Chains A and B, each alone.
Chain A
Amino acid sequence: MSRPEDSLPPDLFYNDLESRKYTTSSRIRNIQASMTNRALELLDLKHPSFILDVGCGSGLSGEILSGVPPEEGGPHEWVGMDISASMLDVALQRDVEGDLFLADIGQGVPFRPGSFDAAISISAIQWLCNAESSDVSPEGRLTRFFGGLYASLRRGGRAVCQFYPKNDAQRMMISAAAVRAGFGAGILEDDPGTKSAKLYLVLTVGGGELESQGGDITGVVKGLNGVDIVDARRKAENARRKEERKGSKAWIMKKKDQLEKKGKIVKPSSKYTGRRRGPKF
């Protein structure tokens, strides 16, 4: 299937026709709704909150944010940013409740620090991996976006970004940029290995109630059913610890073993092997 990201920049691709098609297609609406609900589940908001919708488009996800019933902590107020004027025009015609901005998320997030309780982004941030002109780079755009997002969220806030990376390199580039901005980042993958696999980048800002649960995605998904945690980070740490330091007892024993196997003459090992000699007078 062709990717719209490869054909045109977002402000040109989503013209009046594409925007209307996107918003009226019941298939896209259903997918968007289920992804927004999943993101809301991950955000786990308990009070009516102030949310930033990054790449809000025609407000398909915002509608759901405004419609959360009071017993589930809603309804939330939201602010949407999008680069496509046509998409925002469709949002106006549909009379959405949130505030809309015509803005490029690759140019940063123009809000003062600690503004939002949470941020949500549905199928948008992969667009940041494309640079349309020679004076900007994908890395620079990602850095500005995540830096601005990190600052505009309150302490203990969360952001959930659903995105469609083109390949593993893009996936790594996006999550690395988020980590560099200071987020605790993790990726939740729904239906992995199938055609409808969905990636959610779950970002947490330090401080607040999450701190006691590890302060990152592992705390976020703790209550969810059917989630396997694959922590690549801890595995790498353990592997590094196991590797023996040069000159340590374990290292000496390993070397002696290697030499013995080669048929060299090796001094027998005892409890004194690899010990420091006492201090010299």
Chain B
Amino acid sequence: MKVLTVNFLTCAVKTCKTSPEAFPLHFRDAELAQQDLEFNPEFIKNMLLRLDWNAFRVTTSELGFSTIPAEKPEGDALNDETLLRDLHKVLLETQVMEGKLVCGHCAHEYAIKEGIANFLLPNHLV
């Protein structure tokens, strides 16, 4: 699972829908893998507008990346290719293969196996 996707993922449990702690989900025991993907600056720029930077910093610090700037790049900084390449590397090429995603509100654990997260819930939770 890509780091980009986690930035949009919330807890699927009904009672967590209104809770601010349900986002972002936190990684536990994450095993990372690197996959080479084609660099697409247009897409990164498009996604940066929608990216929740605080949540992104939380996720990356949990995964052990420390070089993320404190402020979201805006304006001219978006044309800096090295920055976009760095973001591409973290957002798209870094994949979480094994581990768990934990909700900060209800502490539900979503297992990740072979890069696929299991979001199936028992019916009474949705």
A residues contacting B by CB (< 8 A) are 47-50, 75-77, 79, 81, 83, 88, 92, 97, 99-104, 107-108, 110-112, 114-117, 133, 135-136, 144, 152, 154
Max chain B Cβ within 10 angstroms of own Cβ: one of A100, A117, A133: A100
Q: Is the interface of B mostly helix, strand, loop or mixed?
A: loop
Q: Which of B77-109 contact A (CB under 8 A)?
A: 92
Q: Which 5 A-B pairs give the minimum distances between C-beta atoms?
A: A103-B119, A110-B12, A48-B43, A115-B8, A107-B126
Interchain CA distance A100-B124 in the complex, whole Å = 24
Contacts A101-B117, A107-B126 given: A115-B50 contact, CB under 8 Å? yes
**Minimum C-beta distance from B77 to chain A (A):** 20
Interchain CA distance A47-B44 in the complex, whole Å = 11
Interchain CA distance A76-B42 in the complex, whole Å = 10
Task: Determine whether the beta carbon of B92 is less than 8 Å from that of A112.
Answer: no
Task: Determine whether the beta carbon of A48 is less than 8 Å from that of B46.
Answer: yes
Q: Which of B24-69 contact A (CB under 8 A)?
A: 37-38, 40, 42-43, 46-47, 50, 52
Contact digits for B106-120, partner A, Cβ 8 Å, 1 yes 0 no: 000000001111111
Interchain CA distance A83-B119 in the complex, whole Å = 9
Closest chain B residue, CB of each to CB of A88: B116
Give the residue of A75, A77, A102, A115 whose beta carbon is less than 8 angstroms from that of B120. A102
Between-chain CB contacts (< 8 Å), 14 pairs: A47-B42, A48-B46, A50-B43, A76-B43, A92-B116, A99-B2, A101-B118, A102-B120, A107-B12, A108-B12, A112-B23, A114-B50, A117-B46, A144-B126
Task: Determine whether the beta carbon of B1 is less than 8 Å from that of A99.
Answer: yes
Interchain CA distance A104-B123 in the complex, whole Å = 10
Interchain CA distance A144-B125 in the complex, whole Å = 13
* Size of B's binding interface in residues, CB under 8 A: 31
B residues contacting A by CB (< 8 A) are 1-2, 4-5, 8-12, 23, 37-38, 40, 42-43, 46-47, 50, 52, 92, 114-121, 123-124, 126
Closest chain A residue, CB of each to CB of B125: A107
Interchain CA distance A49-B43 in the complex, whole Å = 7
Interchain CA distance A50-B42 in the complex, whole Å = 12
Interchain CA distance A50-B47 in the complex, whole Å = 8
Task: Determine whether the beta carbon of A99 is less than 8 Å from that of B5.
Answer: yes
Interchain CA distance A140-B123 in the complex, whole Å = 12
Interchain CA distance A48-B9 in the complex, whole Å = 20
Task: Determine whether the beta carbon of B120 is less than 8 Å from that of A103.
Answer: yes
Interchain CA distance A133-B123 in the complex, whole Å = 9
Interchain CA distance A75-B38 in the complex, whole Å = 10
**Minimum C-beta distance from A5 to chain B (A):** 19
Contacts A108-B126, A110-B9 given: A49-B120 contact, CB under 8 Å? no
**Minimum C-beta distance from A256 to chain B (A):** 60
Give the residue of A47, A83, A97, A101 whose beta carbon is less than 8 angstroms from that of B46. A47
Task: Determine whether the beta carbon of B11 is less than 8 Å from that of A110.
Answer: yes
**Minimum C-beta distance from A197 to chain B (A):** 33
**Minimum C-beta distance from B92 to chain A (A):** 7
**Minimum C-beta distance from B74 to chain A (A):** 18
Q: Which residues of A contact B92 (CB under 8 A)?
A: 77
**Minimum C-beta distance from B36 to chain A (A):** 11
